[in-house]
Structure 1
Amino acid sequence: MQLYLFFADDAVGPESNNELYDHALHLAPDAGIGVVHDWYPLNKTQVNSLQALDLQNSRLKIPFMHIGECLHGVGSFQQSMFPQALALSSSWDVDLVYRVGRAIGTEARSIGIHACLSPVLDICRDSRWGRCQEDWGEDHILTSHMGVAYASGLSKNGSWGDSDAVVPVMKHFAAHGAPQSGLNAGPWMGYGNREVRENLLVPFKAAIDLGGVRGVMMSYNEIDDVPSAVNPMLYDALADWGYDGFIIADDKGMSELEYVHMVADSPTDTIGQWFNAGGMIEYYDYPLETYMNYSWRTGTRRFRSVWKAGS
C-alpha cells in the first residue's frame, strides 16, 4: 500500500485533537503517513509526537519523511531569511552561498525537517515567467556552481544523517525556466534535446555528483510535447548519472497530465503512467490508495515500478 502524503497543519495544533490525522488513517488504514509537507512547528517536539502517533497506528512501522520549503530560508516565520537565489548568485561568491545553505539546513533540521525542496536549478530564459528570482540566472555554468554550493550547505556535504543537515531536493526537472508565453506550466520554448542535455541538465547532474542531492522534483512543462513528469529522456538521464534518490511530482503535476497536457484519460491512467515512468512520490492530486486498489483489482494497469517506488 502506498504511504499517504499529508499536509501536517491539518493534523496537529492546539485545537485539532488529531481528528484530521485520524481521517488520513482512514484513507490509508494500514499504511499510515509516508510524507509530511509544509509544516513548520516551533521545535521537534510536535514532529516527534506525530511520528510516534503514526508509528503506533501504522502496520508498516515506517517513519514518515518531513519535507519543507527552503528557497531562501525555511518556509516559516520563525527562521532566518536570506536574499533570493538571483541576488546571491550576483555575488559570485560560492563560499557565501554554501554558508547560507548550511544555516538553512541547520535551522530546518532543528524543527524536524528531513528534506528541503531546494535548490531551484532552472535556467531562466524568459523574464515574463515570474519565477526568475528563484533561479541563479541564465547561465548553466554559474547555476551549476551556485546550485552545488547551496545543496552542499543544506546536506553538510552529503552528511544527511547528521542532526544539522537535510536532504536537498533539486527542482524543477527539467527545462522549466523558458516556458511558452512565460506561463508556469507552458511548453518549453527551446531547440530540442541537444540544448536540454548540453545546457539545462548540466546543473542537475552537478548537484547530484557534488552537492549531495538525493531528491528530484519533476517540472510542469513539456519538452517536445512530452510532459516532464513522464518523459523517458529525463528518467534515462537520471539513470545514466547513477542517481539513486527519490523522485517526486510537483503539486498538481500529476493531475495536469490529465487536465492540462491531456496525455492521460483518467486518474488511474495518470497514476499508472507516473509509476511506470519511474516516479515515486505523488503530492495531493489524488487519493492514491483508491486508484491503486482499483487498478490492482481490475487489472487495468500493471504497475511494474510500484515495488521500486516503495523500496
Structure 2
Amino acid sequence: MRLFQFILFFFTGLQLLKVQAQEKTGYIPLTKQERQKVELLLSKMTLEEKAHQLASFYPNANKRLNIPHMQAGECLHGVVAAGTTSFPQAISIASSWDPSLVERVSTVIAKEARALGIHHCYTPMLGVLRDARWGRFEEGYGEDAYLVSKIGVAFINGLQGRGKNRFDKDHVVATAKHFVADSEPLLGANGAAVEISLRSLHEVHLPPFRAAVEEAQVGSVMPAHHTLNGVPCHINTYTLNDVFRKEYGFDGLGVSDNNDLRWVQDRLFATESREETIRKALEAGVHTELAFKQTWADKRMYGPPLVAAVKNGKVPVKLLDDAVRKVLEFKIALHLDEEENPLGKEMTELQKGTKDADVNADVFFSQIDGSLSSPRSNYKTVLNNPAHDALALEAARKSLILLKNNNLLPFKKSQFKKIAVIGPNADTIRLGTYSTQQPKHFITVKQGIETAVGKNAQVLYAKGTDIQHPKDTQLAEAVAIAKEADVCILVLGDDDKTVMENVDRDDITLPGDQDKLLQAIVATGKPVVLVLLHGRPAAIQWAKDHVPAILDGWFLGQETGTAIAEAIFGDLNPSGKLTVTYPRNVGQVPAFYNTLIPGRPRMMWGTTEGATYPFGYGISYTQFKYGVPKLSKASMKASETVFAEIEVTNTGKVAGDEIVQLYLRDDISSLARPIKELKGFKRISLRPGETQKISLPISSRSLEFWKDGKWITEPGSFTVMMGPNSEELKTIKLELTQ
C-alpha cells in the first residue's frame, strides 16, 4: 500500500512539474522552456546579428538561427494595407462611448493584420486632446483622461486578445503612443516642446498609459517626438523607467518613433555623440528603432553605429542583450515560427528600392503599404469577411453625432422630389490619416442618399468648392442647384491635407472657402442639413445659429454614406456624443471642460465665454428624462465603493440610445481641483416609454489626486453629478470619511 502511495505521489509530482513547466507566466506570457530558448538564441548570436533584431519595420529575421521576422504596421482604425476594412477614425469611434464595440473593432483589425503578416501595430494613440490646432487631433480619443483610458484599454485588449487568446495567431502587439503629453504642444505644433507641471503630467496625460499597463498589459510603448520639460522623450528615464516601468509595472517592448533616435542629437541637441544617444536610449528602455526607409547605414542608429559603439566599449553589451531579449520574447510569444513564411523577405529586396534620405509624412503614408509583410494564403478570405463590413457599419452608426435638429430631421424618403447634395466631402473618399490608400470600398454621402431614396427623389450634386484650390464657378453652380432643389444636404470638413501629422493650423474655421459656401447655400432659403466629415473641432458657431440640422461624423470609415443616409431618413437614430469641446474660435484654444476654477470671473470683449458645443454633447430623435440621482450610501471610507444611481426614461416616440455620464467635484481640497471630472459612463438602449436605473461605481480611485509625488485622497465633501453631457447635470453630495 505504501509503495502504491509513493508511486502515485511520485507520478503526480512529475505531472505537476510538467504542468508548471508548460504554464505561461510573466508580462510577456512565456513558459519556462520558452524563456530558456530565448537565452540560448541570445548566446549564439554575433554582435551584428543582435543589432539586426532591433530593427522595427525592417528585415529582422535570422536565417542561420531560424529566428522569424516580426513585422510592424499601422492599424489606427484599420490596417494600412490594400483591401482592408476601414473603421471610423479614432476620434470618431470614441464618440460611440462604447468600449465593447471598440474592442470588437480592434479584434477584427488584429485578425486582418495577422492575415497580412503584420505582428506589431503602432497604435493606439493615447494623447489627451487639448489643442484643436494640432494636426494629429483625429488620431486621439478625446480631451478627458478617464474616457481616453477606457477606450484605449478596450482597443488594446482587442488587438492583443485576452486570457488564452493573448498574442495568439489572430492577435498582435499593441503600442501605447506617444509617450507622453504630445497632445498639448506649445502653439499646437506637432513635435513642439511640452512644458507642464508634474501634477498635470500625472493627472491629465499619464492616466491612459497607466491604464494601458495595469488594465490591458500593453505590449509596447512608443516615446513621443518632443522634449518634455527639457528632456527628449526618447531618453527620458523618469517617464519611461521611474513611472512607466517601476510605478506602473510595464515590462514590454520600447520602440522609437520614426527617426527620433537620431534626432535626439541632430535636432534636439541633447547629446554630443551617436554613442551617447544610443546608450541613453537603451538605458531608457527604447529597445527597437523605427527608421522608415533608412538603409543599414549610419542613419540607422541601432545599425552600424550601435555595433561600433558596443565594440569600442561606449555602449555596454548588456544594454544590447536586454533589448534583444525583449524582441525574442515577443517573437516566441506570438508563435511567429509557425507562420507560413516565418523568415519574411530578404533584406536585399528593401535595399534595392530605398534611398538613404529622410522621409516626410506624405511619403510615409503613401509608401507604408509596400511593407515587408508576408500575407497568409487565406488573407483575402479574412479581409473579405462580410462580418467585418457589418461591424464597420455598426461602428459608423454608433459614432454618428446629432448636434442640432430644429424638427427638420429625419426626412421621409418620399418627402422631397429634388435633394441637393453639395460639398467637397459629399462624393469623395474621406477616411482620415493613417488610412489605407486602397479601401475595399467606400460609400460616399451622395451614394448613400441615392441608394436610400431610390426612385422617390432626384439627387442633384455640386462640389461647391475645392478645399485646396477653390474656384468661383463652383460656388455659383452649387447655389443654382440649391435653388432648384427642395432641400440641401451640405457635406463639409477636412481633407487629407488639412489635418494630418506635421500639418497644424493657426485657424480652426472650415478650411478653404467652405464657410463662404455654407453661408451662400443657407442664403437661398432652402432647408439645410450640415454634415461634417473632419478631423479636428471646427469653428461652427455661425452654423449652429443659422442651420436647422447638423450631423457630425468626424471620419466614419468605409460605410460613411450608408450611416449618414440612414440617419437623415430615420432608419438610424443618432446616438454618438462629443469627446471634445467645440470652441467658438481659435482664441478659445486650448479648450477642455475640466478646467481649474479661475481666481476671478472672466469677461470677453465682444463675445461670450462659452463653447459652441460642450464635452459629452449629442442629441437624439427622441427625448430622455433624467430622474434625481441617488447614492447607495451618503458617505464612504477610502476602502469602500459607493454606487451613484439615476433613472433615465425615454419620453419620446422612437427607440434610442443614451450615454449616461457621471462627474465628480472635490468641494474643498488642499490643491485647486477641476470644476468637474468624468468618472463613469454607460451606454444604454431604451424603447419609447421605457425606464432604466443606471448604477455607476465611485471608489477611492475616483476621488484621488496627485500631490507631493503620490496619489492621495482627502476626507470631505464631493459633488456627484449625473446627466447627458458635461453641462446638463443633476447633483447630490457624497462625504468621504477617514
Q: What TM-score do the two structures reach when normalised by structure 2?
A: 0.35
**Corresponding residue SS for 1:185:** coil
Task: Give the conservation status (yes or no) of the 8 Å contact 1:94–1:145.
Answer: yes
Instruction: Identify if the C-alpha distance between structure 1 residues 301 and 30 changes in structure 2 by more than 3 Å, giving closer, same or farther.
Output: closer
TM-superposed deviation, 1:260:
1.9
* 1:18-47 Cα distance to aligned partner (Å, 9 max, x none): xxxxxxxxxx965585367569xxxxxxxx
Aligned length: 269
Secondary structure in structure 1 of the residue aligned to 2:133: helix
User: Which segment is superposed worse, 95-104 or 141-150?
Assistant: 95-104
1:294 aligns with 2:308: yes
Superposed, 1:203-242 pairs within 5 Å as 203-234=208-239, 235-239=241-245, 240-242=247-249
- CA deviations 1:120-146 (Å, max 9, x no partner) are 101111111111100001110000000
Which letter does structure 2 place at the counterpart of 1:300?
Answer: K
Q: 2-side partners of 1:188 and 1:237: how far apart?
A: 18
Sequence identity percentage: 33
From 248, 256, 261, the equivalent of 2:268 is 261
Q: Which residue of 1 aligns with 2:53?
A: 34
* 2:118 is the alignment partner of 1:81: no
Any idea what SS the aligned residue of 2:127 has? coil
What's the counterpart of residue 250 of structure 2?
A: 243
How far apart are residue 153 of structure 1 and its match? 1.0
Counterpart among 160, 163, 171 of residue 165 in structure 1: 171
Residue type of the alignment partner of 1:242: G
Distance in 2, matches of 1:279 and 1:125, equals 27
Partner of 2:191: 185
- The match for 2:116 among 101, 111, 124 is 111
Deviates most, 284-293 or 135-144 = 284-293
Counterpart contact for 1:99–1:153, Cα < 8 Å: yes
Name the counterpart of 1:45.
Answer: none
Greater gyration radius: 2
Map of 1:14 onto structure 2: none
Quote how far apart the aligned CAs of 1:100 are. Answer: 0.9
Q: Which residue of 1 aligns with 2:685?
A: none
- Shift of the alpha carbon at 1:181? 1.5
1:270 match: 277
CA shift in 2, pair 1:29/1:299, >3 Å:
closer
Letter in 1 for 2:179: F
Do 2:114 and 2:169's aligned partners in 1 also have CA atoms closer than 8 Å? yes
**Conserved 8 A contact 2:106-2:156:** yes
- Residue 133 of structure 1 corresponds to which residue in structure 2? 138
Q: Does the C-alpha gap of structure 1 residues 29 and 195 become closer, same or farther in structure 2, counting only changes over 3 Å?
A: closer
Assess, with a 3 A threshold, how the Cα gap between structure 1 residues 238 and 29 changes in structure 2: closer, same or farther: closer
- Give the structure 1 partner of residue 106 of structure 2: 101
**Contact 2:54–2:324 (Cα < 8 Å) also in 1:** no
Residue 174 (1) aligns with residue 180 (2) = yes
Q: 1:221 to 1:89 in 2, by over 3 A?
A: same
SS at match of 1:172: strand
Letter in 2 for 1:209: E
The TM-score with structure 1 as length reference comes to 0.80
Instruction: For residue 266 of structure 1, report the CA deviation from its aligned partner.
Output: 2.4
Q: CA deviation at 1:108?
A: 0.7
Q: 1:174-209 deviations in whole A, cap 9, x for unaligned? A: 11101112221111143x112111221110111122
Kindly indicate whether residue 286 of structure 2 is the aligned counterpart of residue 279 of structure 1.
yes
State the shift of 1:295 in Å: 2.0
Change (3 A) 1:33 1:233: closer
**Aligned equivalents of 1:64, 1:245: Cα separation in 2:** 18
Shift of 1:243: 1.1
The answer (yes or no) to whether the contact 1:35–1:66 under 8 Å persists in 2 is no
Quote the Cα distance in structure 2 between the aligned partners of 1:131 and 1:189. 19
In structure 2, the residue corresponding to 1:147 is in which secondary structure?
A: helix
Alignment CA distance shift 1:295-1:38 (3 Å): closer
Q: Report whether the alignment pairs 1:92 with 2:97.
A: yes
- Runs (5+) with no aligned partner, structure 1: 1-27, 40-49
Choose from 68, 77, 81 the match for 1:72.
77
- The residue number in structure 2 matching 1:309 is 323
Aligned to 2:200: 195
Aligned partners of 1:275 and 1:195: how far apart in 2?
A: 27
Q: Distance in 1 between matches of 2:303 and 2:73?
A: 23
Q: CA deviation at 1:287?
A: 5.0
Q: What letter corresponds to residue 53 of structure 2 in structure 1?
A: G
Contact 2:278 2:315 in 1 (8 A): no
Q: Give distance in 1, aligned partners of 2:266 and 2:78.
A: 33
Q: CA separation in 2, counterparts of 1:302 and 1:31? A: 13
TM-superposed CA distance for 1:214, in Å, is: 0.8
Distance in 2 (CA, whole Å) between partners of 1:266 and 1:35 is: 20
1:187/1:81 Cα in 2 relative to 1: closer, same or farther (>3 Å)? same
Q: Deviations over 1:86-134 (max 9, x none)?
A: 1111111111111111110111111121111111101111111111100
Distance change (3 Å), C-alpha of 1:107 and 1:197 = same
- Sort the Cα spacing of 1:260 and 1:55 in 2 relative to 1 into closer, same or farther, 3 A: closer
Mapping 1:39-50, distance limit 5 Å: none
In the alignment, is the contact (CA less than 8 A) between 1:267 and 1:286 conserved in 2? no
